[in-house]
Amino acid sequence: MASSSSNSPCAACKSLRRKCQPECVFAPYFPPDQPQKFANVHKVFGASNVTKLLKELQPHQREDAVNSLAYEAEMRLRDPVYGCVGVISVLQHQLRQLQTDLRYAKSELSKYKNLGHDGLIEASTHHHHHPRST
């Protein structure tokens, strides 16, 4: 967890042009050297919504919350139409593709495995005969 230096205000207070108090709710998560992180969150959610949200959480949950908000905000600025819901769509598409591939691989595998060793020889001989008898 980053903490603001005693001299410089945190990135949030600097952006909002206000004094960074020792109890500032933003300071631990928006260090002065990461101004973009606050700018993104502020632009997408608004500082007052983020303040409200953080105050409703336990202190130990706040860092994860800020980081997930920062990720969502960055994705929304990169893709104003879909934001991180676009990421979810891509992942769901990949999941469905992998599930199809896995189902296919497993059905292929079961053809071999169900045969067993003797079955394999028989099936193998069988395959050799049939196409040639036509």
The residue ranges that bind a copy of itself (CB under 8 A) are 43-46, 48-49, 53, 56-57, 61, 64-65, 68-69, 71-72, 76, 80-88, 91-92, 94-95, 98-99, 101-102, 105-106, 108-109, 112, 117-118, 120-121, 124-125, 127-128
Q: Given the complex with a copy of itself, which of 8 and 89 has the nearer CB atom?
A: 89
Hey, CA dihedral for 50, 52, 57, 58, is it positive or negative? positive
**Shortest reach from residue 12's CB to a copy of itself, in Å:** 16
Q: Given the complex with a copy of itself, which of 22 and 80 has the nearer CB atom?
A: 80
Instruction: Name the DSSP class of 6.
Output: S
**Shortest reach from residue 7's CB to a copy of itself, in Å:** 31
Copy the structure tokens of residue 120. Answer: 């394999």
Q: Given the complex with a copy of itself, which of 33 and 79 has the nearer CB atom?
A: 79
Task: Please give the Cα distance from 5 to 8 (Å, whole number).
Answer: 6
**Shortest reach from residue 69's CB to a copy of itself, in Å:** 7
Radius of gyration of the chain, Cα coordinates, nearest whole angstrom: 28
Q: Given the complex with a copy of itself, which of 7 and 48 has the nearer CB atom?
A: 48
SS3 3: coil
Copy the structure tokens of residue 95. Answer: 């999941």
Task: Please give the Cα distance from 111 to 120 (Å, whole number).
Answer: 10
